[in-house]
Homo-oligomer: A and B are copies of this chain.
Amino acid sequence: MKPEHLPTFTVEPWVVREPRLDMDAMGQTESVFALSNGHVGLRGNLDEGEPHVLPGTYLNSCYEVRPLPYAEGGYGYPESGQTIINVTNGKLIRLLVDDEPFDLRYGTLRKHERVLDMQAGTLHREVEWESPAGRAVRVKSTRLVSLTQRAIAAISYEVEVLSDGSDGNSATDGALLVLQSELVANEQLPGRNEGDPRLDTALDDVLESEQSRAGQTDATLVHRTRKSELRVGAAMDHEVTGPDGVQISSDANEDLARTTIIARVKPGQTLRVVKYLSYGWSSRRSLPAIYDQVRAALAAARYTGWDGLVSEQREYLDDFWSTADVEIDGDAELQQAIRLATFHVLQAGARAERRCIGAKGLTGDGYDGHTFWDTETFCLQVLSFVAPDAAADALRWRQSILPQAFERAETLGLKGAAFPWRTIRGHECSGYWPAGTAAFHINADIADAVRRHVHATGDTQFELEVGLDLLVATARLWRSLGHHDSEGNFRVDGVTGPDEYSAVADNNVYTNLMAQQNLRYAAEVAAKHPRSAARLGVDSEEVASWRDAAAAMLIPFDERLGVHPQSEGFTSHKLWDFEGTAAEHYPLLLNFPYFDLYRKQVVKQADLVLAMQIRADAFTDEQMRRNFAYYEGITVRDSSLSACTQAVIAARTGHLDLAYNYLGEAALIDLHDLGGNTDHGIHIASMAGTWSAIVLGFGGMRCDADGLSFAPVLPASLSRVSFGLRWQGRQIRVTITPGEAEYQLVSGAPMRLRHHDEPVALGDDPMTLPLPAVEWVEPVEQPYGRAPHQRG
C-alpha cells in the first residue's frame, strides 16, 4: 500500500497525468504508463533508463525456461516453467549535456510531467532540468507502441537548450549535446521481492548474441534465448533534425547497439530525434529471416513516418472508443479509471494475435508473465463485446495449444484436453498442483468464453472452426473427470474452484455448474455440426453421455442454511476468526498456512458468487440473495479477481451502493496501487472486471442463446452511466440516468432485446424505458475490517 501523500496522478477524463516526479511511486507509474499492443510491450521507464524500479521490454510469448524445484517431487509435476523475459531494451535514449549525464537524481529538476493520452495512445513527457553545472534543458519525448504496425514502437525525443540556466555562459553559448540511442540486451535487473509467491524470480543473462550490425543511423541485434531457443531481433533507426553540424554514427557489439548523435545547440535551439524501433521473434525462423523481418518492419515504419504512426494510432483508437467508451457522470475519478481500465485491456489484447494474453498483459513481470483463467473469464468478457477480433484470436491461441493440453490430460489420466493453469506457451507451469492443476475449472472457463463469444458475435464460422475443437476437448475432459455415484449423481471430486483459500474439494458448485454448461453447449454445437464432430470422433452416444452427465450434475445445497456450499461440506467448516485477524495480516496467504486457510470458511475471491454471475440461470432470486449475503460475510478479497464480481452480484441483488464501492476498488487497483504490487504490472483482470462491474452489474447485461438483455440500475452517487457494445455486427449504446435507460442502435440492423425481462424491439431511433423502483434490501456485511472503501 502506497503511503498517504500527494496523489500520484491528477484526475482528468482522458489522460493520466503525473504532475511531478514521485520516486516512491516509480514502480507503479512504470506499469500504469506501460504501452503495449499485445505483441510488444514497453514499461513506462524513463527514456534515459535510470532511475528505475523494473526495466521492462516484453514480447508476447518470448520466454525462457527455468527449472521448477520441489522439496518433495511427485508424478506429473512440471519439471520446468516458462518465464517472460526482459528482451533487448530499445526505449533507451541517454543524453549528455556538456559532459553531464541527464539524470533526474542529480542537478535540479525544474519540471517533470508525464501524460498518458488514451485517445492518442501515446506517453508524453516534458522535463525541465538544470545540470549540476547550471545548464538548463527542456526534454520532450513522446512514445508509442503502434496498434497498427504490431512490430513497431517509436519515440520522438527533442531537447531544447534553455537560456535561463544558472550557468552564466549558458545564455549565449551553445551546449554540447550527445544523444545515445541504444539497444541493450541482458540488462541487469534489480533484486526482487522474495517470500511473496505471487512474484516470481526474473532471469538474468538469458540472451545469447547471434548477430549485431550497425549502419550510420541504424543498428540491429539478434539474440537467441539459451533454453527456450527463441530467436529475438531488435532494430532501430533514427531521423534527426537539429542545428547544422549534427553528427550521427552507430556501432554495435554483442549486447549493445548504439547510435550517437552529437550537436552543439544554442539556447532556444532544439535537437530532435525520432527513433523507430522494431521487434521480431520466432522459435522457427532462421537468423537471416528474423534479421530481414525486423529490418522490413523498420522500413515500413520509416516509410509511414512519425506523423503517420501518430495519426494511424489515433484513428485506431477513435474507432475503438466509439464503441468501447464508458461514460460516467458524477464520479470523475471513476470516469478516468474506467477509461484507463478499458485502455489497458485493449493494450493487452489488441494485437496478441494467437498468442496468449497474460495476467499482467505486457506491463510487468508479475506471475512470470503467465496466462491464467483471467483471460477467458475476465478479459474476453470485455473483448468479445468491444474488440471481438482480439477475443477470437485469444481463443484461437487456446485452440493452438490443444496438443499440449491433450498431452497434459493424458499425463493426468484423463480424456480430452487439460489446459494449463498457468503458462506462456501452452505447457503447464504450475508448481503447486492443489492451486494449479487441480483448478480444472479453467477448461470450462474457456468453453464459456467460446459460448459467450459466439453469442456476442453470432459468428457461426468461429463456432465451427474454433469452438467445436475446444468444446469437444473440454467436454471429454469433464466426462472423464467426473463419475456417477451409486445414486446417479454426476460428481466432480477433488478439484479446486476459483477461491484459492480452498482446494481439492468435492463438487465445487462453480466448477460443477461451469462443467454442466460446458457439456451441454458442447453437445449442442456437436449436434449442430455433426459431420465436423464426427471428424473428431464424436458420435451420438458420446454426445448423449455429455447431456446425461450435465443433467445429473450434483449441485450441493445446504438446506439447513438455505445456501449453496462453495463445495461439499464447506458450510460445516469452522468460520475464520475474522475479529482476531489484524489488518496487517492480510493478504492471509502471506501470514497463514494453506493448511489453515483450506479447512476453514474464508474465501479469497468470488467463487460461488462468480457462479451466480455466469450461471445466473441456475439460481433463484432468493438463492442469489441468500448466497450473496452468506459469502459476503466470509470473503476477504485477497485477490484482485474478486471486487468486480462482487460488484456485479451486489448490483443484481439490489445492493447498489455496495456495488458502487466494489466498482471503485476494482477500478482503482492500479491508479491507487491498492494491492501494493502494481509495480509488477497492471491487474488486467481487474481492469476488465471494472468494465464488467458497470456493464454486467449496473447495466445488468446478459447475453446468451436467447439474445441480449439488460436490467439497468443506477447507484445514487452517479447521475449517468453510458456504455457501448458490439453485438452480432451491431453497435449499441446504453445510457442509464436516474429512473430511465436509453437504448441506441448506433449501427446495424434492428434487433430485439430484453429490458428488465421485458422483450422490446430496438430500431434506428433511440428508445427510453423506465427503470423499476429500487427496493430496499437487507444490508449485507463483510468480514471484520474487510468492507470496501466507501466512495462518495
* A202, CB-defined interface residue at 8 Å: no
What is the copy number of this chain in the assembly? 2
Interface residues of A in 492-515 (CB under 8 A from B): 493-495, 503-504, 506
Of B75, B430, B506, B596, the contact of A72 (CB 8 Å cutoff): B430
Those of A396-435 within 8 Å (CB) of chain B: 411-413, 430-435
Binds B, one of A63-71, A441-449, A752-760: A63-71
Q: Are B73 and A411 in contact, with the CB atoms below 8 A?
A: no
A578 interface contact, C-beta 8 A:
no
User: Within 8 Å CB of A599, what residues of B?
Assistant: 493-495, 504, 506
Assembly CA distance A506 to B504 (angstroms): 12
A593 at the interface (CB under 8 A from B): yes
B-facing mask of A590-604, CB < 8 A → 1, else 0? 111111101110000
With contacts A75-B590, A504-B504 taken as known, whether A595 is within 8 angstroms of B412 at the C-beta atoms is yes
* Binary per-residue interface labels of chain A (469-498) against chain B in the complex, 1 for a CB within 8 Å, 0 otherwise: 000000000000001011000010111000
Q: Do the beta carbons of A593 and B197 come within 8 Å of each other?
A: no
Residue of B69, B78, B572, B593 touching A70 (CB-CB under 8 A): B69
How many A residues touch B, CB cutoff 8 Å?
53
Closest B residue to A506 by CB, please name it. B569
Q: Which residues of B contact A504 (CB under 8 A)?
A: 434, 503-504, 595, 598-599
A98 interface hit (Cβ, 8 Å): no
Report if A573 contacts B (CB, 8 A).
Answer: yes
Nearest to A494 among chain B residues (CB) is B599
Chain B residue numbers with a CB within 8 Å of A569 are 493, 506, 568-569
Residue numbers in B under 8 Å from A590 (CB-CB): 75
Quick one: which of A66-98 are within 8 Å of B by CB?
68-78, 81
A436 to B574, CA, bound (A): 22
* Shortest Cβ gap from A508 to chain B (Å): 12
B73 touches A70 (CB 8 A): no
Give Cα distance in the complex from A483 to B599, angstroms.
Answer: 11
User: Is B591 in contact with A75, judged by CB distance below 8 angstroms?
Assistant: yes
Q: Is A197 in contact with B574, judged by CB distance below 8 angstroms?
A: no
Residues in B whose Cβ lies below 8 Å from that of A75: 589-594
Q: Which residue in chain B gives the minimum CB-CB distance to A594?
A: B74
A195 at interface, CB cutoff 8 A: yes
Check A412–B596 contact: CB distance below 8 A. yes
Are A595's CB and B483's CB within 8 A? no
Contacts A433-B595, A593-B413, A595-B433 given; indicate if A71 touches B81 (C-beta within 8 A).
Answer: yes
Cβ of A732 under 8 Å from chain B:
no
Q: Within the assembled complex, what's the spacing in Å between the Cα atoms of A434 and B568?
A: 19
Q: Is A284 an interface residue (CB 8 A)?
A: no
Given the interface contacts A73-B197, A485-B572, does A594 sit within 8 Å of B493 by beta carbon? no
Additional 4 contacts, C-beta under 8 A, given A68-B71, A413-B593, A493-B573: A70-B71, A72-B436, A76-B592, A504-B598
For the complex of A and B, 3 pairs with smallest distance between CB atoms: A71-B431, A494-B599, A69-B69
Show 12 A/B contacts (Cβ-Cβ < 8 Å), sorted by A.
Answer: A68-B71, A69-B70, A69-B71, A72-B431, A74-B594, A75-B589, A75-B592, A434-B434, A437-B593, A491-B572, A493-B572, A506-B569
